[in-house]
Amino acid sequence: MPELSVQQSAGKQRLWTMAFSIITLISFLIGLVQLSLSTNLPLYVVSVYNSTSSAGAMVGAFALAAMLGRPFAGHIIDRLSKPKLYLAGTALFTAGVAMLLHQGPLAWLVIARVVQGLGFSLVSTVAGAMIADILHPQRLGSGIAIYTVTGSLANALGPVAGLTVAQSFGYPVFFKTILITSILTVVIIPVFFSRQKAATQPVLESDSESLARHLDPVESSKGHWWRQITSLIEPTAVAPASVMLFLAITYGALLGFMPLLAQTKNLGSAGTYFAIQSGAVLAIRLLMPALVSRLSTLRLVRLAIGLLMPALAILLATRHPALFYSSAVLYGAGFGLAFPLMNTVVFERCPPQARGRANATFYLALDLGIGAGTILLGYIAKLVHLEAVFFTALVVAILAFLLAPRLLKTV
């Protein structure tokens, strides 16, 4: 079995095209809104509705909705216009954000999060497929690393900005602010892609993709219903997606319960924690080209998960603010390294005509880990105590460390 590797040859192909820049900008804005909501809504639910278990549901409902929409998003992305689907996803996500302006019962918040999750699943899945389409194969690894840096910046700015606005001006102003940001993404897409339609169409759909788009429905119509369901999953992406499933559970614990832990134990600012974590993500991704040139993918994955374990152990045991913030550095470096590694492996291994399904499979595992994991962890927090959430996340990280090399060797 040949050793896994992330593409290292940069070549002279242009990376920062207008299309690549617009996609990364929109993804940054969507991520900014999403991360602001993920860190603020649990606190909002606890303060307004006095429900700790429902705080986890605010993260879990979003992720589960994104998970359920992901396979179907991947299926239609490989057949329909990607820019139009991109616009539809941002519009649906924005509609879910607009629903938060009405303060209804908890069920209304859950519905709003479901709508946001469905929109986000379409936006993020089609964005990844478009990135893979417009980049030269020799620039794929670098492009994905840069693309994920925008997520790191959103992760750094979103929680801090969201918490600052909510605490300084109240939640109504916070919800209006993120709605304006979401509307901006809906406006950018038609303005840009209507001008670029003729230029981008040959790039966004290769001859092989076009052929597959016409032939695949004929193939699937002859199969059993089970084949039609399983056709929504790209087999080549299952192994790296499985690794992300484990890691996403730990990330869900961080998103849904770290702000509550910091508040309960008076450890420090959750916004500062996320800012430090995002700084570590940004730093590790800037170092990725040097790391990739020296270490194999399997060793880098072991390194990444090896950083997550002490980060979670610190959150479980610490009572000291300095150690609390050191956990942010370790977790940011670990997760920031693991995500682009696995995403790049997905695109390296899948056929060009299956990029939508492959990216959907990858994000499906991410959503499942965050969504189902966070909901389950919410009940653990309610039935046991808050520290049990991070003990469970630590056990999952240890399992990931043990299983990841075996899973990735099947790629």
Per-residue pLDDT tens digits for 323-333: 899 999 999 99
Mean pLDDT across 165-190: 89
Residue type for 56, please? G
The model's pLDDT over 119-166, given as tens digits with 9 standing for 90+, comes to 988 888 888 778 777 776 666 666 777 777 777 778 778 877 888 898
**Is the confidence at residue 314, as pLDDT, over 60?**
yes
Amino acid at 157: L
Give the ranges where 222-354 is alpha helix by DSSP (H).
Answer: 225-230, 238-265, 270-286, 288-294, 297-317, 321-349
Q: How would residue 208 be classed by pLDDT, with cut points 50, 70 and 90?
A: very low
The pLDDT confidence band at residue 215, using thresholds 50, 70 and 90, is: very low
Go through the domains of the chain in sequence order and give each one's CATH number: 18-408 (1.20.1250.20)
Distance CA 141, CA 348 (A): 9
Cα–chain-centroid distance for residue 218?
33
In this model, does residue 40 exceed pLDDT 80?
yes
End-to-end CA gap in the chain: 9
pTM for the structure as a whole: 0.65
Over the stretch 70-118, which tens digit does the pLDDT of each residue have? 777 777 776 777 778 888 889 999 999 999 888 778 888 889 999 998 9
Rounded Cα gap, residues 80 and 310, in angstroms: 44
pLDDT over 80 at 309, yes or no:
yes
